[in-house]
Amino acid sequence: MPQWSVVTEEQASPSTLSQLTPNLPAFTAQYPIIISDDDPQIIRLYQMILDRHHLHSMASPTSQGALDLAHHHTASLIISDMMKPYMSGMDLLRSLRSESRTLHTPFMMITATPRPELRAEFATLGGDVFRAKPIDLREFITLVTKLLQHQPVTVRA
């Protein structure tokens, strides 16, 4: 695994992110970020932010679609909404963690329902970041960067 430079939250402004982490665009070109949200505007927003930092992504409005993408592409990170029709973000995480190929893929859940019992289940399943909507966009890109660099993320109550 390549070594990445350390980025603090203060350093992760849009103007400095790509300078501090020059290998992340190449890394995500080979191992894209998968986004899953049933709201197309949220997908567009997340992709716009990632594109602004030259990070490559793929998206699906369904968890099954995200799971299919993860089966066909080695993802560097998966970002998902919790509440989606047919298969929830938690079910997506459960499926990913049951397969050796995706067992260690970093997973970020961004949800409008950040209930404590869901956060506990998420942690038990091996999720990495659980945040409430709306997420601050600067925090979003900081968290993405830390997860791509395999850095520990501060857990918030």
pLDDT digits (tens, 9 = 90+) for 19-66: 445 589 988 999 999 999 999 999 999 999 999 999 999 999 999 999
**Residue with more model confidence, 3 or 83:** 83
The pLDDT, as a whole number, for residue 18 is: 45
Q: Say if residues 78 and 96 touch (Cβ distance below 8 Å).
A: yes
141 Cβ contact list (under 8 Å, min separation 6): 12, 14, 17, 49, 50, 53
The pLDDT, as a whole number, for residue 153 is: 57
**Amino acid type, 82:** M
Lowest mean pLDDT among 84-93, 95-104, 122-131, 147-156: 147-156
Q: Any idea how long the chain is?
A: 157
Q: Kindly report the number of other CB atoms within 10 A of residue 113's CB atom.
A: 10
DSSP-H helix ranges across the chain: 14-20, 24-30, 40-52, 63-72, 89-97, 116-125, 137-148
Cα-Cα end-to-end distance for the chain:
31
Q: Kindly report the number of other CB atoms within 10 A of residue 136's CB atom.
A: 10
Mean pLDDT, the chain, integer = 85
Closest CA to 17 of 6, 30, 31: 6
Pair type for strands 107-111 and 77-81: parallel
Q: Say if residues 24 and 55 touch (Cβ distance below 8 Å).
A: yes
Residue 131 phi/psi, 5° resolution? Answer: -130, 155
- 3 has a pLDDT exceeding 50: no
CATH class of 22-148: alpha beta
- 104 has a pLDDT exceeding 70: yes
